[in-house]
Amino acid sequence: MTRVTELTIRRPDDWHAHLRDGAMLRAVAEWTARDFGRAIVMPNVVPPVTTVAAADDYRRRVLDALPAGSAFEPLMTLYLTESTTPEEIDRAASSGFVKAVKLFPAGATTNSENGVRDIERVMPVLERMAVAGMVLSVHGEVADPGVDVFDREAAFIDLVLDPLRRRLPELRIVLEHVTSAYGVGYVLSAGRNLAASITPHHLVLTRSHILSGGLHPHYYCLPVAKGPEDRRAVRRAAVSGDPRFFFGSDSAPHLDAAKERATGSAGIFNAPTALACVAQVFEEEGRLDKLETFVALSGPAFYNLLASSSRITLRRREQPVAIPDRIMTADGPVTVFDPGFPLHWRVEVPDGQDEKTF
Ligand code: NCD
Ligand code: ZN
């Protein structure tokens, strides 16, 4: 069989990205905008984006941080708190630029302190979202310190997500960054109102990457990578072509100084390598024919948006492509996700444009 070395697909989107703010935003925005046409921009900046007015301001800051001429479209999200009102959901639904509301269980991850402690208190808002057709994007982990960190996704499904879906089956939910065989199985068992995003790093890493051969802070994120059976299930779901599983990078930059300390922050910055990494996984699995579905078709379909009308060409280079080890921000360096194997796929740059060099 001849090897596929060129693939033209609709321009991919990233259905879960942390672009941050200030100096970090200015350093990372171009990396997401390089390969992706749109991204669902997570609202856990400081202070969190809790209103449509704040989302509009943040959207402008993102647009300002893009390279001149970029056609990248940020799709905004609201950070759900116990004070969010149903009227704010109506404003979000009619804004045209807010595409989801994000539920962070309070204390589950980076900047989640203002998140939800008691789901009961947000039920009126979730009911309004179900009526408005607004997507609920969930960080699917319980924050209970009594639950083992590797079991927090499963516990969230049993204790929060499943009861919620039974109460409000019309609510459209994305279980973000699914990491476990249990989570994948749960999505498969559900109807079409539940989907899951999948990150490049959870297609590649297991907990051994974090914990053996020295401690690897740049492989630490939440939900934490799990065991080989879990990774297998996540890979199988990604390459299956099932429209309920789509790409969301969860690119989550932190300064190296914040990662490489006693209590290192959770989050992997993968925007520069995400697409190449996913392409390589699909190649390894012999499913390059499903890559477009995963990165460019299933996400927009779930969000009731059209797939991109533009196309990109991915080319497989014989020699590994050059990837920066880290990028620089005004506040210090940020290490780029290294999957631990050479990357060969690269988006072809149209004639006349400069190829990004490092
Ligand atoms: C994210 C971050 O840093 O904002 N961290 C992470 O480990 N994924 C938050 C999140 O998505 O959990
Ligand atoms: Zn995230």
Other Cβ atoms closer than 10 A to 352: 5
pTM, 2 dp = 0.97
Distance in Å, CA 271 to ligand 1 centroid: 14
Per-residue confidence (pLDDT) for residue 3, from 0 to 100: 87
Q: Answer yes or no: 338 catalytic.
A: no
Check if the beta carbon of residue 234 is closer than 8 Å to that of residue 250.
no
Check if the beta carbon of residue 27 is closer than 8 Å to that of residue 328.
yes
Residues framing ligand 1 (Cβ under 6 A): 18, 44, 109-110, 139, 221-222, 250, 252, 266-267
Query: Residues in the chain with pLDDT < 50?
Result: 352, 354, 357-358
Distance in Å, CA 305 to ligand 1 centroid: 25
Closest ligand to 107 CA?
Answer: 1
Atom of ligand 1 nearest to the CA of 109: 12
Per-residue confidence (pLDDT) for residue 135, from 0 to 100: 98
Ligand 1 pocket test, candidate residues 14, 15, 18, 20, most atoms within 8 A of CB: 18
Per-residue confidence (pLDDT) for residue 235, from 0 to 100: 98
Residues 6+ apart with CB under 8 A from 90: 128, 132
Catalytic entry in 14, 250, 256, 338? 250
Per-residue confidence (pLDDT) for residue 351, from 0 to 100: 54
Per-residue confidence (pLDDT) for residue 353, from 0 to 100: 54
* DSSP element (H, E) containing 182: helix 181-189
Per-residue confidence (pLDDT) for residue 53, from 0 to 100: 98
Dump pLDDT digits (tens) for 164-179: 999 999 999 999 999 9
* Domains contained in the chain, CATH given: 9-308+326-347 (3.20.20.140)
Distance in Å, CA 138 to ligand 1 centroid: 12
Per-residue confidence (pLDDT) for residue 356, from 0 to 100: 52
